[in-house]
Amino acid sequence: MLLSSLHLYRRLAPGPSQAGFTLIELMVTIAIFGIIMFAAAPSLSSFLSRSELTAEANRFMGALVFARTEAVKRNTNVVLCPSKDQTSCNSSNWADGWITFQDTDGSGTLAADNSEEVIKYADAASSVNIYPDSEFAAAIRYKADGNITNNPGKVVICSNKAPAATNAREVGIASGGRTSITATQKSDC
């Protein structure tokens, strides 16, 4: 009886308690965390590159929708064209950036005398390539009714960082001016 009382006393007596993790528990936790991160890193990189590609495609499509809306709102022609300096249509590469301007004289080019207003501009695209159909290489023109003066076509935006199966987004532009985006593949991005 004396022994069992002594044993009970030791369990109830206040004293130093152990708190925290042992070195082995900490090392096992870090090892498991490292294995999980090693497995997740490639898919995270793939996710980020696909997200960047989708964001650029959405940005380009937003510029098209904006140009169409402005044409209808202003009841005049509006043009979207590639631009290096955001003041004129002086590029053949859409990835350099683009401008949207009111085309009051209907020429499809920005007047040199500043009589036509640059409504909006966009900076260069980050780490993507933009390949328009030949119809859209120089400009995309919207009439006052929202239709395009160009023939219908597409602009392909691709990234060599994205997974090969879905490394591109195709922005389709119908004759009525409506746009759509489709995930696709481009082998020579």
pLDDT in tens, 63-100: 999 999 999 999 999 999 999 988 888 888 999 999 99
What mean pLDDT, rounded, does the chain reach? 85
pLDDT digits (tens, 9 = 90+) for 6-16: 454 455 555 55
Distance CA 33, CA 121 (A): 45
| Mean pLDDT on 159-171 | 83
Distance CA 131, CA 100 (A): 18
- Look at residue 2 and tell me whether its pLDDT is greater than 50: no
Confidence band of 23 (pLDDT split at 50, 70, 90): confident
Distance CA 63, CA 84 (A): 16
Write down the pLDDT at residue 86.
85
Higher pLDDT, 173 or 16: 173
Write down the pLDDT at residue 6.
46
pTM: 0.76
Write down the pLDDT at residue 64.
95
Write down the pLDDT at residue 108.
79
Distance CA 124, CA 170 (A): 18
**From 105-119, 142-156, 165-179, the region with the lowest mean pLDDT:** 105-119
Confidence band of 17 (pLDDT split at 50, 70, 90): low
Q: Cα dist. 1→6, 12, 31, 58, 136 in Å?
A: 9, 17, 48, 81, 97
Write down the pLDDT at residue 12.
53
Q: Is 133 exposed, middle or buried (0-12, 13-18, 19+ CB in 10 A)?
A: middle
Write down the pLDDT at residue 145.
94
DSSP string, the chain: -HHHHHHHHHHHS------S--HHHHHHHHHHHHHHHHHHHHHHHHHHHHHHHHHHHHHHHHHHHHHHHHHHHHTS-EEEEE-SSSSS---S-GGG-EEEEE-TTSSSS--TTS-S-EEEEEPPPSS-EEEE-GGGSS-EEE-TTS-BSSPSEEEEEE-SSS-GGG-EEEEEE-TTS-EEEEEE--TT-
Q: Which amino acid is at 27?
A: M
Write down the pLDDT at residue 18.
63
| Mean pLDDT on 8-34 | 73
Give the pair of three-digit tokens for residue 127.
Answer: 């780490």
